[in-house]
Amino acid sequence: MPKLSIRDIDLANKRVFIRVDFNVPLTEDGASITDDTRIVATLPTIVYALKHKAKVILASHLGRPKGKPNPKYSLRPVVDRLRELLDKELGEKVNVAFAPDCIGEIPSEMARQLESGQVLLLENLRFHAEEEANDPAFSKALASLADVYVNDASAPPIAPTPQRKGLPISSSPPSPAC
């Protein structure tokens, strides 16, 4: 299947899994973001999806937690900053929820309950060793969350992780003009 742009897909009422690069620098304790450049870089794609009535699911890694949960590498601090940026960009309050994991029953239920125009940020993908191992079961679990896959990670792929290789759903990188 040829790669499509996000503009080539009807996003209305679809759960759209967007792989983003939120590998942002944090304070030593991991509580605050020190540079939000990577979050800002994703806004055009996220805003486009929201304006087209998508149910947005965001996934990223942060740091190198070595395949297990580590509060120092949680994406939780990103939620508040992302909400602030989206509120400003869209001129209205945006519901940005945070899933305490990226796979399993809780994130699955949260994804099912999303309404159009809402955002769900999944916890750090690298809290699972299967992410870097390109595990097919991990890919399948991520794929089950969504109808459409969009790759908006700004860093070039280094290794074929599940989000870049194994997700068995439509690949639709955003156009640079989003």
pTM higher than 0.85: yes
Average pLDDT, integer, range 1-21: 92
Domain boundaries in the chain? 6-151
Average pLDDT, integer, range 135-158: 85
Tens digit of each residue's pLDDT (9 = 90 or more) over 82-126: 999 999 999 999 999 999 999 999 999 999 999 999 999 999 999
- Helix/strand/coil (H/E/C) assignment for every residue in 31-99: CCECCCHHHHHHHHHHHHHHHCCCEEEEECCCCCCCCCCCHHHCCHHHHHHHHHHHHHHHCCCCCEEEC
What pLDDT score was predicted for residue 132? Answer: 86
What pLDDT score was predicted for residue 34? Answer: 95
Residue with tokens 């993908």: 125
For 6-151, which CATH class? alpha beta
Task: Say if residues 134 and 103 touch (Cβ distance below 8 Å).
Answer: no
